[in-house]
Amino acid sequence: MSPASERLMARLNGLKPATAIVLGSGLGGLTGEIKNAIRIPYADLPGFPAGGVSGHASEVVAGLFADKPALMLAGRAHYYERGDPAAMRPVIEALAGAGIERLILTNAAGSLDPGMPPGSVMLIEDHINFSGTNPLIGEADDRRFVGMTQAYDVTLRKAFEQAAAASGTVLHKGVYMWFSGPSFETSAEIRMARLMGADAVGMSTVPEVILARFFGLRVAACSVITNLAAGMSGAELSHQETKDMAPLGGARLATLLRTMFREGFLDG
């Protein structure tokens, strides 16, 4: 067990959530819905990343979400911040060591489909790693050869679909392509991504999925669509636009998460 796992378990003081949620842009306010909240700054957990991107906080918040035990991570490290694809490894390892079984990842992404406009939510069914790197490079044994055929857990994806039906929320589905960032994609790269089968593009999540599978966690992920990708709208992209538009889709994703927990769909 890692030092971060030990400290996390100690600070949770007997609370044993089975599900952790990484909150991307537009979802940080969800931690305010946690009852009996235990707040742990990342700085108190060995190896956890310091905040480096505006719009992202840096704390663990655990307690009861929709009356069910849950752990939320407000903030993540991105590959483009320090050039380390395994920057989130201490976090994922700590979660696994502390008894987390399911990891739900969220992010802000650009849409390649005009029928999936800003404000939409996309359930990630698969991904394309176009970064040229992998967080498991350098692992010393054969555990590094992680199978990714079913990287996104079928049962957890069904839980999202059930929550969408129960709440009347439109839920798109598609393939997410990871670009390293921090610059946005070019119009030519977006045309290529579309030809390769991508439905949305972004700068996070894929390293965490790989690490979560490495540590034996079941994974689901959703994208909040904040913009149409480069070359699709005629406008230049910006991080400010991402922050401005994230709350719209974030509210829809928050509804899905509340419904999933409240109705017990995660236990199905």
d(CA 94, CA 4) in angstroms, rounded, equals 5
How many other CB atoms are there within 10 angstroms of residue 234's CB atom?
6
Q: Are 94 and 2 in contact (CB under 8 A)?
A: yes
- Please name every residue paired with 19 in a beta bridge, in sequence order, or none if there are none: 102
43 is an annotated ligand-binding site residue: no
Query: How far is Cα 92 from Cα 217, in angstroms, rounded to an integer?
Result: 9
204 assigned ligand-binding residue: yes
Nearest alpha-carbon partner for 26 in 259, 266, 253: 253
Check the annotation: does 76 bind a ligand.
yes
Residue 17: name the closest of 1, 3, 37 by CA.
37
Is 185 part of any known ligand binding site? yes
Report whether 77 belongs to an annotated binding site: yes
Chain centroid to Cα 27, Å, comes to 11
Which CA distances in Å does 158 have to 154, 171, 228, 252, 260? Answer: 6, 12, 27, 17, 10
- Residue 22 φ/ψ, nearest 5 degrees: -90, 120
Binding residues for a purine D-ribonucleoside: 185, 227
Q: Binding site membership: which residues?
A: 25, 56, 76-78, 108, 185, 204, 227
Which positions make up the binding site for phosphate? 25, 56, 76-78, 108, 204
